[in-house]
Structure 1
Amino acid sequence: MATVTDNIADAYNDFYTGSETEWRMLGARSKAANLVEVCSGIKPVKVLEVGAGDGSILHYLNEWGFAEELYALEIAESGVSFIRDRKLSRLRAVKSFDGYTIPYADDSFDLVILAHVLEHVEHERVLLRELKRVAKYIAIEVPLDYRFGVDKRMKHFLDYGHINMYTPTLIRFLVQSEGLIVEADKTSLTPIETVKFCEFNVLKKPKTLTKILKIELEYRIKKFLGSLLGKNKAEQFGNAYTVLTRKSSEAIKIF
């Protein structure tokens, strides 16, 4: 079984210090909303989030009554502690894990959530097969980092721990080639308020009327063109892709 490389595990151990709580919560709200939307056709009772970070997505799922029982796995000890400190009413257990081996029996859950995790994973297929083992449904969200010339921005993405790049079509290829059936999906833009917070609070850029109007106009243009020109164009402009998959009984052979 694959394990997380030591230097990667060490990099995440002290990642969740509480210094960026407001930023994480703001981003988590839209992520949680996307997950709830693509999962609207199912009624999961037991839900496991793998790579749950500081529990910010779980916070909203708990608040919105998404499932009766919530569980969490996280490789960073700081994240595990942060989640426990939230004292979420529907959270039944939070555990640390090695990044690949899920410490639960086959078919333990109705749904597994993997939100903004796959881009960090060295062996994606190994993890996906473990998720299939423990749940019927898997909901995945990834950032759409890929753009032309992305190789010239390697340091930027590696600083965030993003070692994989995806497009919606690449994610669909990956999950379908692992025997998963796409049930529902969604491409989304980063909300305006999140972009503003990043620009002015995280990156500390000067807050000017021109910059504010540019952010708002860019968002509205992309949303309009995506709506007008169809799914392919919406996926081209998107910042995140969310997909609900269901495991198939048919085995997939990879030669």
Structure 2
Amino acid sequence: MTVITDNIAEAYQDFYTGAETEWRMLGAKAKAQNLAEVCKGIHPKKILEVGAGDGSILHYLNEMGFAESLYALEISESGVSLIEKRKLSRLKAVSSFDGYAIPYEDNAFDLVILAHVLEHVEHERVLIRELKRVAKYLVIEVPLDYRFGVDRRMKHFLDYGHINMYTPTLIRFLLQSEGLEIVADKTTLTSIETTKFCEFVVRKIPKSLMKTLKITLEYRVKQLLGNLLGKNKKEQFGNAYTVLTKKSTQSLEIF
């Protein structure tokens, strides 16, 4: 049985301490909106979020009335504690798990959510197969970290726990090779509001008119070029990719 490596498990045990709450909530709002948008055609009633962190995405899904019942799994005990403290009205259960084995029966859920988790996972296919086992639909969002020369910034990404890199093409290949069919997808840019918060509050870069204008202009230019030049260009510029999949009728035996 695959289990999460001890040093990785230890790194996440106290990861969610209640600090940086505003930062997490700001990002979670956009993630919840993305998830809801790609899932708008399926109307799930029972949802499981795996790697739910501090529950910030669940908070917004709960507010949106996205499903009748919400469930959560998280490897970090500090995350589980923060989720419990939220007292979400639609949350039925939250518990810790070993990072791979989902403690629910086959087809227990309408939808499983995996948002900004897969980039942290050592054995991606093992986890994907478990998620596929417990739900018909699986929605994943990953950051689009990959750029040319990314290997020269390894420390930066490892500091965030990102051990996998994705492009929309690569994540689609991974999911389809695991017998999942793409239903809907969306590529997004980091919002101007979030970028400003990251630069001026998180990174503590001195705020200036020129820096603020540069952030706004860069966003507008990328947005315009993506709209004009189509999906490939939009995916090239994107910062996050959200994809809804369902179990395929085609069986792929790759191993």
The TM-score with structure 1 as length reference comes to: 0.99
Alpha-carbon displacement from aligned partner over 1:73-130 (angstroms, at most 9, x marks no partner): 0000000000000000000000100000000000000000000000000000000000
Aligned to 2:160: 160
Letter in 1 for 2:190: T
Letter in 1 for 2:28: A
Counterparts of 1:197-208 in structure 2, within 5 Å, are 197-208=197-208
Letter in 1 for 2:245: T
Aligned to 2:60: 60
Aligned to 2:15: 15
Consecutive unaligned residues in structure 2, runs of 5 or more: none
Aligned to 1:37: 37
- Give the superposition deviation at 1:149: 0.1
Q: Does 1:177 align with 2:177?
A: yes
Alpha-carbon displacement from aligned partner over 1:177-206 (angstroms, at most 9, x marks no partner): 000000000000001000000000000000
The TM-score with structure 2 as length reference comes to: 0.99
- Give the superposition deviation at 1:248: 1.5
Aligned to 1:92: 92
Q: Percent identity?
A: 78
CA RMSD of aligned residues (A): 0.5
Report the Cα distance in structure 2 between the residues aligned to 1:78 and 1:4, rounded to whole angstroms. 17
- Give the superposition deviation at 1:133: 0.4
Letter in 2 for 1:45: K
Report the Cα distance in structure 2 between the residues aligned to 1:97 and 1:251, rounded to whole angstroms. 28
Report the Cα distance in structure 1 between the residues aligned to 2:253 and 2:190, rounded to whole angstroms. 37
Report the Cα distance in structure 2 between the residues aligned to 1:27 and 1:43, rounded to whole angstroms. 23
Letter in 1 for 2:214: K
Report the Cα distance in structure 2 between the residues aligned to 1:117 and 1:70, rounded to whole angstroms. 18
Instruction: Provide runs of 4+ in structure 1 moved above 4 Å.
Output: none
Report the Cα distance in structure 2 between the residues aligned to 1:230 and 1:251, rounded to whole angstroms. 32
Report the Cα distance in structure 2 between the residues aligned to 1:110 and 1:20, rounded to whole angstroms. 32
Report the Cα distance in structure 1 between the residues aligned to 2:253 and 2:137, rounded to whole angstroms. 21
Count of residues in correspondence between the two structures: 255
Aligned to 1:110: 110
- Give the superposition deviation at 1:249: 3.0
2:217 match: secondary structure: helix
Report the Cα distance in structure 2 between the residues aligned to 1:33 and 1:15, rounded to whole angstroms. 24
Report the Cα distance in structure 2 between the residues aligned to 1:253 and 1:101, rounded to whole angstroms. 21
Aligned to 2:209: 209
Aligned to 1:141: 141
Aligned to 1:218: 218
Report the Cα distance in structure 2 between the residues aligned to 1:75 and 1:181, rounded to whole angstroms. 28
Mean Cα deviation higher: 226-235 or 244-253: 244-253
Report the Cα distance in structure 2 between the residues aligned to 1:82 and 1:66, rounded to whole angstroms. 21
1:106 match: secondary structure: coil
- Give the superposition deviation at 1:251: 1.6
Report the Cα distance in structure 2 between the residues aligned to 1:200 and 1:250, rounded to whole angstroms. 49
Letter in 1 for 2:2: A
Report the Cα distance in structure 1 between the residues aligned to 2:156 and 2:4, rounded to whole angstroms. 22
Report the Cα distance in structure 2 between the residues aligned to 1:73 and 1:250, rounded to whole angstroms. 29
Report the Cα distance in structure 1 between the residues aligned to 2:28 and 2:97, rounded to whole angstroms. 22
